[in-house]
Each structure stands twice: as structure tokens, then as C-alpha cells.
Amino acid sequence: MASLYTQQSRNVFRTWMLMGVFLSIVMLVGFLASQYFGNSAILYVAVGFALVTNVWAYWFSDKVAIASVGAIPADETQYKELHRIVENLAITAGLPKPRVYIIEDPAPNAFATGRDKDHAVIAVTTGLMGMMERNELEGVIAHELSHVGNRDILVMTVAVVLVGFISVLANMFMHVSMFGGRDSDSKAGPLIAIAAVLAMILAPIAAQLIQLAISRKREFLADASGALLTRYPDGLASALQKISSYDMPMQRASTTTAHLFISNPFGAHQAGQFVQKLFSTHPPVEARVAALHGLNV
């Protein structure tokens, strides 16, 4: 039987393998676009835009995420137990204590953000605080701290930027093509032209699916890492089951920040259908609970 250590190792490998495929799509789209138009300036502009977006997202992603859900700093007197749990687990993980925020929302959920361990934020909803036993809350916090320790925020920021890059390139292609912007000196043959058109149509869809797949793998990894941190997988498993029993969406749910949360902020209404799984930011709770119950610490 696999241990949590092997599960963690496998998910790290799978995540970086998906990122490799992601980068391959970016390079393929860029190559076909430059061949089709016979003009590399389009690619340079798109890359430059993606880099600027990446830098902005890296520095300000935490502020955007906090503002988008209306989170406020958790008062250390009112939420003394929450601060104690975060601090104790951060010490155990060898991490600085993140800033702790509260989201006034009855839906049980939590997320972590921040560009690195020194600028990390953990936010939990009032619904989560009211629903969880201590060992369950510890499991959730350990999961979020694992996102910080595993540098998940950086990986997901890169993934989001790459999706944006491909989408921008595809939109540029479509607009320029509509207005006859193709260079008459372009040596691209009919096969290259067809491949370029297909790439521009399908690449954004493929990129989005890969981003979602990366998000799902990071959740499995954070589950495994969090269980290693608390040495009690059942606490997190029980927390996930309670969270999944709440069907209503968060009051300020957004597709922009959905991948940050421990559970889908739009409500636990994924009926296990293949298409729903494919386009979800999170793996099915049943699969996550089974993985936690089936592994050894």
C-alpha cells in the first residue's frame, strides 16, 4: 500500500509533467503563429504582455484574492484558537506564521495565497469555523499551509498566466486574420496554415483543461502534505466530508479565485459526471477522502 510520502512524490511529478505539456503547447502555438503570419512581432508582443501580467500577478495576487472575497484580518482575541492552530502548525512545518483572515460567509471553505512563504495568507470562512471540530480545523489549516510550503501559489500563477498568453495569442490571430493581416511574403504552406488555425481554436481550450488538471493535482498533493503535517489524515478527511455536504455557493464566489479554495466555492453539486470532473478546479471529494483513508502516515 502506498504511503503519504509516495502519494506526495507522485503528485509532484504529475504536476510538473502537466506544466511541461503546458509549455509545449505555448511553444507550438507561438511557432505556428509566427510561421503563418511570417512576422514574429505578434509573438513578441504576446510574450511581453504575458510577462507583465505574470509579474503583476506574482506581486499582487494576495491582495486581489483577499479583496475579491471581502476577507478581513482575524482578530487575535476573538479568533485566538484559530491563530494558535495556525502558529503551531506553521512551526511544525518550518514556515513563518501566515497572516490570518476571516471571510464572513456561512459556506465552509478556506484558501491560501501569497507569492512566497514570507508573504503568505490563510483565510477561512465563518461557516468553516462554526462547523469544524478542532482536529478537522487543524486538517484544513495544514492543507492550506501545505499549499504555501509546496509553492503551489507560484505554480498556479504561472499556469494562469500561460492560459492568458495562449488566449491573447489566439485572439490576436483571429483579429488579424479577419482584417487580412497575413504577410504576403509568408512561406507557410497550406498544412502550416491549417495547423495554425486549428491550434488557435483548440489551444485555449486545451490550456484551460491543463490548468484545471494542475489545480486538481495540487489539491491531492496538499491533502497528502497536510496529513503528513498533522499525522492524522482522518481529521482532514472528515473536514472534507463536512464541507462537501454544504450545497450553497459562497456569497462572493468567483472563477478567478476558485482554484485557491480547499473546495469548490460554487457549492458541492458535482454529480461525478465526466465533463463536470474535466472542467472542475477540484477533484471529487470522494476521491480525496478515499486517498486519505487508504494511505499510511
Q: What is the pLDDT of residues 58-115, one digit of tens each?
A: 777 778 888 888 999 999 999 999 999 999 999 999 999 999 999 999 999 999 988 7
Does the annotation count 144 as an active-site position? yes
First to last CA, the chain: 11
Tally of CB atoms within 10 A around 73: 13
User: What percent of the chain is modeled with pLDDT above 70?
Assistant: 60
pTM assigned to the model: 0.75
**Cβ contact 115:62 at 8 Å:** yes
Nearest alpha carbon to residue 173 among 196, 205, 192: 196
Mean confidence (pLDDT) of the chain:
78
Cβ–Cβ < 8 Å for 126, 103: yes
Strands (E), 66-213: 72-73, 99-103, 110-113, 121-125
Q: Is the CB of residue 78 less than 8 Å from the CB of residue 124? A: no
User: Would you give the DSSP letter of residue 297?
Assistant: -
Measure the CA–CA gap between 28 and 50, rounded to whole angstroms: 16
Handedness of CA 81, 84, 88, 94 (dihedral sign): positive
Helices then strands, each counted (H, E), the chain: 10, 4
- Asked if residue 230 lies in contact with residue 85, where contact means CB atoms within 8 angstroms, the answer is no
Task: Identify the active-site residue in 81, 133, 138, 144.
Answer: 144
